[in-house]
Structure 1
């Protein structure tokens, strides 16, 4: 992975459990950037899932109308490479959903996918805000795909934290700036 001592000055990671307000905080940060916002939604549409449609509508109502929306369930890295980032703020919501869309990748393919995303984010010249779920605070999933999802997302967020300028944890109705409050683990620890 990338050198954890080398940060991307424009990369922000917002993480937290479900219903914590992490998307709302990421949206607040995007507004504070005072740039045109490109919102990348990673969910896939399922016309039969009414509850999911209601969640999406709630997010849509909260966002300013002038934000540009891109629905990118799979090709996140390629999309980030093509977007003009200089005068924009890119908000990706969420990495967990994107990763879930790629769970059929074998370990080698996933490692390459992750490496390409990290390299792209490290080199991107504009503001990028990533929303990521914290899934590893509960019990170990009883089924293999659940464990794969949890482990891959945990590792991805850790790698992103190593290159991000700021990392926020949103939980219990509070926003914590982990970059100010915490101490990063050394690069050797992040390889495990």
Structure 2
């Protein structure tokens, strides 16, 4: 097991659907580790809709900030853990005043330690557009890009999803 994957793509690209299919292909007891926080009515509706859609297949775990600890705990009882998504997690870390680089280092270390469960990380590729016009947005884009590069180095499989079509960047060929 322990063959970790990073799934990147733009907003609404189909990356989560692909990651879910990837998880269910090998899982006996999958978990869905959600990093989103439902801070308004529209986001609550989105979260509830996503939960209903995957309820029969995944155990849902919600953790907006302490991702490494949640992964370690989930790996004790689940064979596949899908994390959706890293860019929301980075936003949550920034909002909480946490050191993002340190948290990413901790996540990378955690991934190398978890060998008995497959971890599938989903994240938005935000670096393909124009340079943001404000400091916070540029910092976010840079942190996301650095996170993706660091995790791509240690994940066995890396995919990029466009228009629902997965492309293999590293590792096992996409479906």
1:149 to 127, 137, 140: 140
Match of 1:41 in 2: 34
- In the superposition, the TM-score normalised over structure 2's length comes to 0.88
Q: Quick one: distance in 1 between partners of 2:157 and 2:2?
A: 8
Q: Gaps spanning 5+ residues in structure 2: where?
A: none
Aligned mate of 1:68, from 40, 48, 59: 59
Pair 1:92 & 2:83 matched? yes
Q: Cα–Cα, structure 1 residues 51 and 34, in superposed 2: closer, same or farther, change >3 Å?
A: same
Runs of 4+ in 1 over 4 A off after TM superposition: none
1:177 correspondence with 2:174: no
Structure 1 counterpart of 2:68: 77
- State how 1:90-129 maps to structure 2 within 5 Å: 90-104=81-95, 105=97, 109-125=99-115, 126-129=117-120
What SS does structure 1 have at the residue aligned with 2:127? coil
Secondary structure at the residue paired with 1:137?
coil
Deviations 1:99-139 (A, max 9, x none): 10011436xx3222111110001121111101010001111
- Give the root-mean-square deviation of aligned CA atoms: 2.0
For 1:69-111, what per-residue CA distance to the aligned partner results, in whole angstroms no more than 9, with x for missing partners?
A: 11100111111122334751001000010110011436xx322
C-alpha distance in 2 between matches for 1:14 and 1:55: 21
**Residue pair 1:21, 1:171 contacting (<8 A) in 2 also:** yes
Larger Rg over CA atoms:
1
Partner of 2:45: 54
* TM-score, normalisation: structure 1: 0.81
Query: For this pair of structures, how many residues does the alignment match?
Result: 170
Kindly tell me: are residues 177 and 43 of structure 1, through their superposed partners in 2, closer, same or farther at Cα, counting changes over 3 Å?
same
Q: 2:13 aligns with which of 4, 13, 20?
A: 20
State the alpha-carbon separation in 2 of the partners of residues 29 and 23 from structure 1. Answer: 10
Q: Alpha-carbon deviation of 1:64? A: 4.2
Describe the shift of the 1:170–1:123 C-alpha distance in structure 2 as closer, same or farther (beyond 3 A): same
Task: Evaluate the alpha carbon distance shift between residue 121 and residue 64 of structure 1 in structure 2; reply closer, same or farther with a 3 A threshold.
Answer: same
